[in-house]
């Protein structure tokens, strides 16, 4: 009986291959992408998350209206999670041998979302601005996850974990909007 899908692991070949480029740390010949491309994508994710952190922080302070306390608390919680997302993406950039890019001069161009502060800081306007931003990152992160595919499972899992929290953020905002 023959099996065409047998898993055959050539450990001898792998042992030789990985020994040749020890300076590349966790990046081995089985990494399925150009590491620099993954680093560039993650640096734009860092910019996006920092802009989201700034926007939520600003909105938490400016929120006005009868349900101010509840909305402000939610924005503060989201802000903290966006900052964690930025830090986790930066850790991964470093693991991949890159330099995490927190340069404020290029944050806005690199970010997928805008630093939006509506002139009128009523709660609905703020909630809608943040829901719009969350829906943008949900879409862009899904595209990133699809592109990463099987080529870099660790970055993909990181982005999947972040995406899950962005979907929770969008859901929280939708609940607060009462739509």
Q: Hunting for tokens 């608390």 — which residue is that?
A: 73
For the chain, the C-alpha Rg in angstroms (whole number) is: 20
Nearest C-alpha neighbor of 165 from the set 56, 72, 44: 56
Does the annotation flag 78 for ligand binding?
no
Q: Least CB distance from residue 21 to Fe ion, whole Å?
A: 33
How many chain residues interact with Fe ion (CB under 5 A)?
5
13-43: buried (b, 16+ CB within 10 Å) or exposed (e) per residue? eeeeeeeeeeeeeebeeebebebeebbebbb
Instruction: Please say which residue, 27 or 142, places its beta carbon nearer to Fe ion.
Output: 142
Q: Does 169 bind Fe ion (CB under 5 A)?
A: yes
Specify the stretch interacting with Fe ion by CB under 5 A; choose among 19-27, 57-65, 146-154, 168-176. 168-176
Q: Least CB distance from residue 122 to Fe ion, whole Å?
A: 21
Residue ranges in contact with Fe ion by CB under 5 A: 49, 82, 85, 166, 169
């Amino acid at each position: 009986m023959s099996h065409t899908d047998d898993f055959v692991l050539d450990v001898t070949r792998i042992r030789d291959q990985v020994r040749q480029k020890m300076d590349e740390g966790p990046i081995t010949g089985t990494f399925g992408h150009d590491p620099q491309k993954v680093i560039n994508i993650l640096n734009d994710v860092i910019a996006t998350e920092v802009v989201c952190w700034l926007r939520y922080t600003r909105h938490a302070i400016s929120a006005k209206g009868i349900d101010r306390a509840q909305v402000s608390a939610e924005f503060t919680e989201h802000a903290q999670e966006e900052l964690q997302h930025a830090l986790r993406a930066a850790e991964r950039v470093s693991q991949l041998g890159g330099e995490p890019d927190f340069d404020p001069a290029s944050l806005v161009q690199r970010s997928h979302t805008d630093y939006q502060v509506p002139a009128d800081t009523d709660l609905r306007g703020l909630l809608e601005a943040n829901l719009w931003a969350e829906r943008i990152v949900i879409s862009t992160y899904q595209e990133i996850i699809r592109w990463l595919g099987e080529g870099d499972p660790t970055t993909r899992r990181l982005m999947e974990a972040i995406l899950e929290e962005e979907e929770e953020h969008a859901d929280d905002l939708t609940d607060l909007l009462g739509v």
